[in-house]
Structure 1
Amino acid sequence: MTSVSVIGCGNMGGALLRGLAESGNYTLTACDLDPEAREAVEEYAETTDDPAVAADADIVVVAVKPHIARDVVDDIELSSDQTLVTIAAGVSTDALADRTDATVVRVMPNLAAETRNMAAAVTESTVTDDVRSMLDDVGEFVDIDEELMDIATAVNGSGPAFVFYLIDAMRQAGVESGLDDEDARVLAAQTFKGAAETVLRSDEDIETLIDAVCSPNGTTIEGMDVLWDSDADEAVVDAVAAAERRSKELADESDDE
């Protein structure tokens, strides 16, 4: 059984631990200096405040803020037969490779790792089979050139927040027209879940899928006409672009350290 340790048990590190624990395929260690963070994941992993203990794993995931990622890697000793996975936004593999003997793999995951529905991007030039298996166990992933990590950070890393925003807008519309709040929440969220699954399973492009829902003179085409006449798509593109810009800024700040 592959051993995985996660250093940094905040939102993303905790989500990854919960998803991996549910898969049942790993022995897990969680490392954090904050007792409350350790307590939040003690059901899923052995916990420690000692990075040296966490370093004794096949895969060591560094899930800390970008500005301390280097310091964390400097504090742990890894060998060439281990893998270091970094999920710190803006911190390149090159920034860490000289600080460790381990293979460095950069991953941009998202919080849906907790439910094993994660979307992730991983550096195609360094990804190992063990990391591929780990990512497979908590969702879907794509191999990309590291130069594209900033846009991946915006699309799948920040993307859940944008989707939550849209789900809530649909929930609000339902409530304003009389639906119970919880009923509207379930209908909106499940609709996004089902639509996403349809996109992943279908060979059709998204425009064709939209057309399939839009009967002539029906309800959907009326709503789509409103969206097509609006700037909704541009707002989403702008949100993704803003997140991408910030990822690049973090990378520049990281390079200056």
Structure 2
Amino acid sequence: MSATEAATLLGVTQSRISNIEAGRYGVSGNRVRALARNYACSDQALIDALAGMTGDRTRGWWEEYQDLLPTGLLELTELEHHATALRTSQLVNVPGLLQTPDHARSIFGQAVPPLLPHEVEHMVAHRIRRQGILHRQRPTPYTAVLHEAALHMRFGGTYVAKAQLRHLIELSEHENITILVIPFTSDGFPPSGHGIDYFSGPVSQLDTVQLDTTHGSELVDAPAKVEMYRLLLDRMEEIALPAEESRDLMNRAAQRL
């Protein structure tokens, strides 16, 4: 259906439809339902989820950082805030939502190109504030799969590394947080050399994936690709140690420091 045809059915101008599709104009729940009828969409769960998203027009706290941080970080924060569940995998890094301030400061201190001291502090403050979704009144369920290599990286030195491991162990005791470790002794590892963040929406069609690449974050929402990353994370969780054994491995790594 062309934008002109859609506009005629909705009783608006073609430019209005184009601006709605481009995200320049907001849209009400009733209008979402009217569009769904016009487009012959019969998936009621998806329609309800989309209509439900139209009611919240409040500004997110992350917009305070609009002129201080890259747009990709703000998009990441918004996705985390609204996700119904989160999954992540990391090879050599502790996920940002599980980092201590000193660990995060060490990571940002090694950025390429280098960040100025005040930029590092903005990044650290933003990262720690993001972690609030794991500790709010209705905390977001979070599953993190780490390779054992991440437990042995000494970002910030031995003291900071040990404090980070103790922090991971403590967080792993939280009901909504699951930390699974793939040990060096594993006989396989799915081919993913970069970090993966999976954001579950209210319905599966609204799931989104973020890839943490060298050139910056990359968002993926094409259904086939999202499904591929979901299956990849499923495989990682299958070959990782159970939560209790993963906690024991983290304890042993901390004791060796």
Q: TM class, shorter-chain normalised? A: under 0.3
Compute the TM-score of the two structures, normalised by the length of structure 2: 0.26
Larger relative contact order (Cα-Cα within 8 Å, sequence gap ≥ 6): 2
Compute the TM-score of the two structures, normalised by the length of structure 1: 0.26
Give the number of the structure whose residues are more often helix, by fraction.
1
